[in-house]
Structure 1
């Protein structure tokens, strides 16, 4: 069976206890961070919740759940990690919405904090599709991990561009790793893993896709990345979940401008782009649900030349994290192999 740390095993079991959701799991994690891991995982929960859970059928079955997850991890060549494990991405570990458990198939980058999420509609225009591809390729060529969600449309093109550049790309999924959704992107998923990238999810084996899980997936994409690039989106598009989360997490958001042809065609998938590139500050704030002050972190991409304007942000963040996160000389040497100074 795949090995997991004692804390990760405890969190997996606690996730099955009645009344325990993500909020209580994060609280249990914080308690474990402040002290030693108790012999009984229920001691990490509030007393009233632990008392009710102790005699429940769900808790009794949680041991079998853990064994089943470990067996599935071995079968699907997946690692299960928690926030205190060395491989856990630093950007996620310090996030307020930290996923208590991550399932990873493939390899994360040794400097995963230099990463860009490229997202957008499932039905891009021809220009949107080519833009997502170019962005994926561009950032991969500049030693960035390209993060997206493996959906059809912009996600697929972003992953494709990164793969064409033989770069690193991560697909964040809204379901367990026992399957790939949509099924038509199973080949893309395999290409990501074969190319040295990773499939990542916070959902256990057996979890099926559902609408609310895509919202969580979108937030994780933003948390995993230095910034988010919105290629195309309707005014009520799902890609706005990650866009809003990026600003809430203190990341930057870049928005691709629409072409004259797409504007003339009245393409619905550029509605959000038009507001964020040409609207008033009030309109932008309402769409992104942020303050006017936070809009200073929104950047407009009018063309490929503007991609370069995002690189200094990535390099500055990368260097700022060197001392704190990568003070081991061997880690720094490995990372130096991938550096391409702008």
Structure 2
């Protein structure tokens, strides 16, 4: 994290604020050195790396300035963080995307960013059927140990987040504004509930930055980049959700679409995605079977305070179907921890998911 070294943080802020340096160019530049080292490069060297004289001047002058708004935002809470693409806390899944931001502002539990995530997005004006599908899929996915990532927008996004907090489960919201300028305002209470239930808010923008139309497509690449796959629940052919799906494809991630009636304009975007090769899904199992191979067997995706002793939990799963409620009761662990550990044990081939719960895998 950069929180604890304000001088280093300022060099990152200075470089990332230089006009004309998009995420891809910044990443190519950072392949040569960190910002604090780049600051010591002579102008001729920086010029050879593609910076114009104006950009070099901006970088050097910005590095000498303080960012009181940023410093104030960080100091207001121990749960606020700034992480760079060179920090260990930066999610590797997102770091693989060449257009990913080089800085993330995070409020809440950093460990959530390292957990297996599924993005769920959709229209801001959903039908009752779309809302029901979003809630049912969310419930099934979190029961399998996935963290739901979305964009805090009205409609499908908010319903997925709301379902998670109603269940007392963590969720990740990526904003198209600064974290101190939560948008849409109607979802500010939902954002607070996300934090209260152990979730996480994420943005690439300075905390006090107001939302702008062009920021939302930028936000979408983070949503898809953090996730193993993107689920489009309900969307028109001109929906921003299709932008998220396109980013997912560009990042080499899975795209899933919930089907609907062919004459319903609210699902026309989903049907288009299915025609283009997205997987038609009706339940969480359809998603899990496509992404499970991408989840590392090691427990490194568990945040340190959530790592579980494997043998004691495994002892609570029998060779006949054992319900999740039984496992929780017998292990004495929290439901969230149990679900994450069960997912890891299933990925390791120690247990199998069956109707009604889990069974111990039989060894030949």
Say if 1:174 and 1:216, in contact at 8 Å, map to a contact too.
yes
Whole-angstrom distance in 1 between the partners of 2:301 and 2:198:
24
How big is the shift at 1:224? Answer: 0.4
Say if 2:308 and 2:341, in contact at 8 Å, map to a contact too.
no
- Cα separation, partners in 2 of 1:219 and 1:28, compared to 1, 3 Å: same
Partner of 2:167: 165
- Partner SS for 1:170: strand
Could you report, residue by residue, the CA deviation over 1:203-250 in whole angstroms, capped at 9, with x for unpaired residues? 112222112110011111000000000001111111001111111111
* Structure 2 residue 249 is matched with structure 1 residue 268: no
Whole-angstrom distance in 2 between the partners of 1:178 and 1:146:
22
Say if 2:179 and 2:203, in contact at 8 Å, map to a contact too.
yes
Say if 1:19 and 1:49, in contact at 8 Å, map to a contact too.
no
Partner of 2:74: 73
Say if 2:138 and 2:163, in contact at 8 Å, map to a contact too.
yes
- Cα separation, partners in 2 of 1:193 and 1:17, compared to 1, 3 Å: same
- Cα separation, partners in 2 of 1:3 and 1:188, compared to 1, 3 Å: same
Partner of 1:317: 294
Could you report, residue by residue, the CA deviation over 1:134-193 in whole angstroms, capped at 9, with x for unpaired residues? 222221222111000000000011111222222221000111111111101001100111
Residue correspondence of structure 1 range 83-94 to structure 2 within 5 A: 83-94=85-96
Whole-angstrom distance in 1 between the partners of 2:172 and 2:296:
22
Say if 2:114 and 2:301, in contact at 8 Å, map to a contact too.
no
Partner of 2:250: 248
* Structure 2 residue 131 is matched with structure 1 residue 154: no
Partner of 2:21: 20
Residue correspondence of structure 1 range 187-202 to structure 2 within 5 A: 187-202=189-204
Whole-angstrom distance in 1 between the partners of 2:162 and 2:301:
33
Say if 2:24 and 2:100, in contact at 8 Å, map to a contact too.
no
How big is the shift at 1:111? Answer: 6.8
Mark the runs of 5 or more structure 2 residues left unpaired by the alignment. Answer: 311-336, 347-352, 354-364
How big is the shift at 1:276? Answer: 3.2
Mark the runs of 5 or more structure 1 residues left unpaired by the alignment. Answer: 285-294
Say if 1:175 and 1:203, in contact at 8 Å, map to a contact too.
yes
Higher helix share goes to which structure? 1
Whole-angstrom distance in 1 between the partners of 2:206 and 2:193:
22
- Partner SS for 2:37: coil
Say if 2:174 and 2:203, in contact at 8 Å, map to a contact too.
yes
Say if 2:16 and 2:26, in contact at 8 Å, map to a contact too.
yes
Say if 1:3 and 1:70, in contact at 8 Å, map to a contact too.
no
TM-score (norm: length of structure 1): 0.81
Whole-angstrom distance in 2 between the partners of 1:98 and 1:221:
10
- Cα separation, partners in 2 of 1:100 and 1:5, compared to 1, 3 Å: farther
Root-mean-square deviation (Å): 3.1
Whole-angstrom distance in 1 between the partners of 2:61 and 2:142:
46
Whole-angstrom distance in 1 between the partners of 2:90 and 2:259:
35
- Cα separation, partners in 2 of 1:187 and 1:10, compared to 1, 3 Å: same
TM-score (norm: length of structure 2): 0.76
Say if 2:69 and 2:208, in contact at 8 Å, map to a contact too.
no
Partner of 1:300: 280
Partner of 2:61: 60
- Cα separation, partners in 2 of 1:177 and 1:125, compared to 1, 3 Å: same
- Cα separation, partners in 2 of 1:18 and 1:115, compared to 1, 3 Å: closer
Whole-angstrom distance in 1 between the partners of 2:303 and 2:154:
40
